[in-house]
Structure 1
């Protein structure tokens, strides 16, 4: 299911939050939901060139707070705040309640899925090759810290008669992992050949849920230091456990020693036997020399 479902809706209440935060019941819910859809469509058309990535709508106590996440906040504000004031008046007419508009800057638009999809569709409308636009966006995202990205384009690509779907992926994109922080964006390019849809998945790493805490923060620093200090003390206690193992191995070492002792006498015996004949030979040689001396004396006589 992770391959088909919307990644944002799949992770709601786990690692993602809603873009519309308010409560209503009965007919009020349908009315407020319709107003939210109209506000989002109006802002997308009005701020088409402002690189708007996300719009957050909150309704506390008969008021409305709208937060616009943009990579170009100066375009939204305008000169001396003229554009944002006109936005407030238009939104108050649509919602019928006082509206507060906040603007947050997106510091890394290259790894924002919605902004990547919008930039690719703008290039397709300018008749730029879709493969070039997709690969360029992937390279920029990976260069600025994304751990994985997947881009899919569908429609009459390059004006062919039969529509097809092509996608490219670089790095890891674990769509079925709930703790994975995956940003999803969808955009449509309206060309002379028809509509081309672009989907973008960006994997930014693993995140923890709202109720979870990192393992490093759960254990205080003093306790970790005590554990580290106890480790060297535990090592001497484990040494006696290793001594019986050495005693068990002792009989194996004794066997070659006894064999060496039994084999030692036959090695020394030939040395003694070799030494004895040497002495006899010396004696025989001495006897011969004495005999020769005597014989020599007789010959001389």
Structure 2
């Protein structure tokens, strides 16, 4: 079941929270949901080059608050805040209420699943080999602390006649474990041969009982033991191996002294 279901929906109210947080009665739910979808479509088109990872929408007391997570907040804000004012006015027309926009920076875009998927899709549109793009993204994610990553691409890869699916995985990606912090993202690449879909799963560790994000430590195998130190505080030198060569080198000064 964990292999097929959406990883975020599977973990809602356990280790994940909703992307739209508001309450509506039976009569207003459809209209408010439609407004959310229109706003997300507008932001996805407007901020295509701003590296937006996710968007959280909240509706407190006849207002709307958008929190945009981006690895390039300067592109979203614009020169002297001009672009963000344009966003506020456009979103206000869509939502029909006053809108507040908050920008949050993504510190490590290399381990954000949505940004990884968007990056691979952009490379595929530039006719870069899909294997090279996928493996490069996996190496960057593992280097910056991800415990596991899985990337899947589907479509007419490299322009072949019959569509196929290829995926690569490195590390652990426990999709059945509810407490596992699995970040999931999808994207599409529009090529001359058709659309190629990209899916990314990133495993960042297990969340605690309070829902706190995992802290990635250095594996014990990578911690090297500290060598002996001399009395003056400097590290001790490498001991010379005892053997026939060492004995001959020690004997030569004695022969010269005897002469």
Structure 1 residue 80, shift from structure 2 partner? 0.2
The alpha-carbon deviation at position 95 of structure 1 amounts to 0.5
Equivalent residue, structure 2, for 1:11: 11
CA distance in 2, matches of 1:70, 1:208: 26
2:58 and 2:66 in contact (8 A); partners too: yes
CA distance in 2, matches of 1:75, 1:166: 34
* Structure of greater Rg: 1
Report the Cα distance in structure 2 between the residues aligned to 1:75 and 1:142, rounded to whole angstroms. Answer: 27
Tell me the SS of whatever aligns to 2:28. helix
Superposed counterparts of 1:40-189, under 5 Å: 40-189=40-189
Aligned length: 213
Q: Does 1:205 align with 2:205?
A: yes
| Deviation (angstroms), 1:210 | 4.0
Deviations 1:163-193 (A, max 9, x none): 0000000000000000000000000001000
Instruction: Give yes or no for the alignment of 1:37 onto 2:62.
Output: no
2:191 equivalent in structure 1: 191
Q: Distance in 1 between matches of 2:163 and 2:17?
A: 35
> CA–CA distance in 2 between the matches of 1:33 and 1:26?
12
- SS of 1:128's equivalent in the other structure is coil
Return the alpha-carbon distance in structure 2 between the equivalents of residues 105 and 211 of structure 1. Answer: 21
Tell me the equivalent position of 1:244. Answer: none
> 1:14, 1:210 within 8 Å by CA — same for their partners in 2?
no
**CA–CA separation in structure 2 for the residues paired with 1:123 and 1:25:** 44
Superposed structure 1 runs of 4+ greater than 6 Å apart: none
| Runs of 5+ consecutive residues of structure 1 not aligned to the other structure | 215-301
Indicate if the aligned counterparts of 2:47 and 2:76 stay in contact, CA closer than 8 A: yes
Task: Extract unaligned runs of 5+ from structure 2.
Answer: 215-259
**2:63 and 2:31 mapped to 1: Cα distance?**
15
Any idea what SS the aligned residue of 2:165 has? strand
| TM norm structure 1 | 0.70
Q: How far apart in 2 are the matches of 1:159 and 1:208? A: 45
SS across alignment from 1:3 = coil
- Please report how far the alpha carbon of residue 25 of structure 1 lies from its aligned counterpart in structure 2 after TM superposition: 1.5
